[in-house]
Structure 1
Amino acid sequence: MALILGDFIWVNVFTALVVVYIVKYYYSWYTRENPIPGPFPLPLIGNLHQLGLDMGKGAVKLQKEFGDMFEIYLGPTRAIFISRAELTEKIYNPTLKNNEFSLRTPSNPGLEELHLTETGITFNRDLNAWKFNRRILNLTVMSPKFMRESVKFTNQICDELEKYWSTINPNNKIDFARWTSCLAADIIVTTSTGTKGYSMADYINSLPNSIKVKISENILGESLKFIESMYMFISCVMFYFSFPPFVRKFVPVIKTMYHKYRDNNIWLNAELDRIICNRKREIQSAPSDQPIENNVLNLLITLNTEMDTNKITGIDYSRPLTNIEISCTLKEIFDAGMDTTRNVMCYIMFYINKYPQVKDKLIQEYESIYGDLSKKLDVTYESLDKLVYTEAVINEVTRLIPPLPVFMRAATFDTEIGGYKIKKETTVILTKFEINLADPEAPLKLSYHGIQHCDELYMYINQKSNA
Structure 2
Amino acid sequence: MAIQKIIESLTVKEYLFFIVLITVVYIFNFYYKYFTRTNPLPGPFPLPFIGNIHNVGLDVRKFYKECRQKYGDTCEVMLMGLRCIVLTRPDDIEKILSPASKGDAYIRRFPYTEGEAEIGHYGYGLLNNISYKHWKRNRQSFTHLLAPKFMDTVINSANNLYEELSEYWHTLGIQRNNNVNADNWALEIDFPAWLYGYSNDLISILITGERTYSMVSYYNKISNIKSKFFNALIEDEDTFVQSIIKHIDGVEFFMFINPFIRHYAPIIRDKSISILKNRDYLFGRLRMVIKKRREEIEKMSADTEMKTDMLTSLIIANKIRDTDSITDKPMNDEEIRGNLLEAFMGGTETGPNAFCYITYYLCKHPHIKQKVLSEIDSVFPKSSNKFSVTHDDLLKLKYCEAVIKETLRLMPVIGLNTRYVTEECKIAGYKWPAGTLFHLDVLSTNRDPELWPNPEVYDPDRFYNNDQSDKKFLPIFGGGLRICPGRKLAVVELLILMASVYKNFNLDLTNTHESLKISTNGVIPKVLEMNVRISPRI
Describe how 1:416-427 pairs up with structure 2 within 5 A: 416-427=426-437
Q: Which residue of 1 aligns with 2:47?
A: 42
- C-alpha displacement of 1:151: 1.2
Inter-partner Cα distance in structure 2 for 1:403 and 1:448 = 11
| 2:409/2:474 contact within 8 Å kept | no
Structure 2 residue aligned with 1:406, among 402, 416, 420?
416
C-alpha separation in 2, matches of 1:296 and 1:50: 41
One-letter amino acid of the structure 1 residue matched with residue 197 of structure 2: C
Cα separation, 1, equivalents of 2:154 and 2:205: 8
Q: 1:77 & 1:313 partners in 2: Cα distance?
A: 32
**Any stretches of 5+ residues in structure 2 without a counterpart?**
1-7, 178-185, 455-466, 478-486, 492-538
Query: SS of the residue aligned with 2:302?
Result: coil
1:127 aligned partner: 132
Name the amino acid aligned to 2:195: T
Shift of 1:409: 1.2
Q: For the residues of structure 2 that align with 1:203 and 1:252, how far apart are their CA atoms?
A: 35
- The alignment partner of 1:195 has SS state of coil
Aligned counterparts, 1:159-308, within 5 A: 159-168=163-172, 169=176, 173-207=188-222, 210-304=224-318
Task: Work out the CA distance in 2 between the residues paired with 1:60 and 1:373.
Answer: 48
Per mean C-alpha deviation after superposition, the further-off stretch among 32-41 and 45-54 is 45-54
Amino acid in structure 2 at the alignment position of 1:128: K
Over 3 Å counting, the alpha-carbon distance change for 1:313 and 1:253 in structure 2 is closer
Stretches of structure 1 lacking an aligned partner (at least 5 in a row): 306-310, 454-467
1:255-275 deviation line (CA, Å, top 9, x unaligned) = 112111111111111110001
- Give, in angstroms, the shift of residue 426 of structure 1: 2.1
- State the 1:95 CA deviation: 4.3
Alpha-carbon distance, 1:164 to partner: 0.9
The 5 Å alignment of 1:97-176 reads 97=102, 100-138=105-143, 140-168=144-172, 169=176, 173-176=188-191
CA distance in 1 between partners of 2:79 and 2:345 (Å): 22
CA–CA separation in structure 2 for the residues paired with 1:41 and 1:90: 28
1:164 is matched by which residue type in structure 2?
Answer: Y
Instruction: Specify the SS of the correspondent of 1:148.
Output: helix
**What is the identity, as a one-letter code, of the residue corresponding to 1:142?**
L
The structure with the largest strand share of the pair is 2
SS in 2 for 1:34: coil
Whole-angstrom CA distance in 1 between matches of 2:81 and 2:388: 54
Amino acid at match of 1:446: F
* Residues 332-374 of structure 1: per-residue CA shift (max 9 Å, x gap): 1111111211111111111122222222222222223232167
1:368 counterpart = 2:368: no
Distance change >3 Å, CA 135–CA 24, structure 1 → 2: same
Shift of residue 102, structure 1, vs aligned partner: 2.2
Q: Which residue of 2 aligns with 1:55?
A: 60
Deviates more, 1:60-69 or 1:229-238: 60-69
- Residue-by-residue CA offset, 1:434-458 (whole Å, 9 max, x unaligned): 14335999654335446999xxxxx
For residues 59-92 of structure 1, give each alpha carbon's deviation from its aligned partner in whole angstroms, at most 9, with x where no partner exists: 2233333333221111311112222323212211
The total of aligned residue pairs comes to: 444
The Cα of 1:34 is off from its aligned counterpart by 1.4
Aligned equivalents of 1:211 and 1:387: distance in 2? 36
Choose from 463, 472, 475 the match for 1:445. 472
Q: Is the CA contact (8 Å cut-off) linking 1:36 and 1:420 kept in structure 2?
A: no
SS in 2 for 1:90: helix
Paired residue for 1:324?
334
- Please state whether the residue corresponding to 1:149 is helix, strand or coil: helix
Give the secondary-structure state (helix, strand or coil) at the position aligned to 2:97: coil
Distance 1:313 1:23 in 2: 46
- The TM-score with structure 1 as length reference comes to 0.87
SS of the residue 1:174 aligns to? strand
- Where relative contact order (Cα < 8 A, 6+ residues apart) is larger, the structure is 2
- After superposition, the Cα gap between the structure-2 partners of 1:5 and 1:364, relative to the gap in structure 1 and judged at 3 Å, is closer
CA distance in 1, matches of 2:414, 2:375: 28
Q: CA deviation at 1:304?
A: 2.8
- Distance across 2 between alignment mates of 1:408 and 1:266: 27
In 2, distance between residues paired with 1:391 and 1:373? Answer: 24
Q: How does 1:387-398 map onto structure 2 within 5 Å?
A: 387-398=397-408
Query: 1-side partners of 2:383 and 2:111: how far apart?
Result: 50
The answer to whether the 8 Å contact 1:85/1:445 transfers is: no
Structure 2 length-normalised TM: 0.76
The residue that corresponds to 2:501 in the other structure is none
Q: Distance in 2 between matches of 1:57 and 1:375?
A: 48
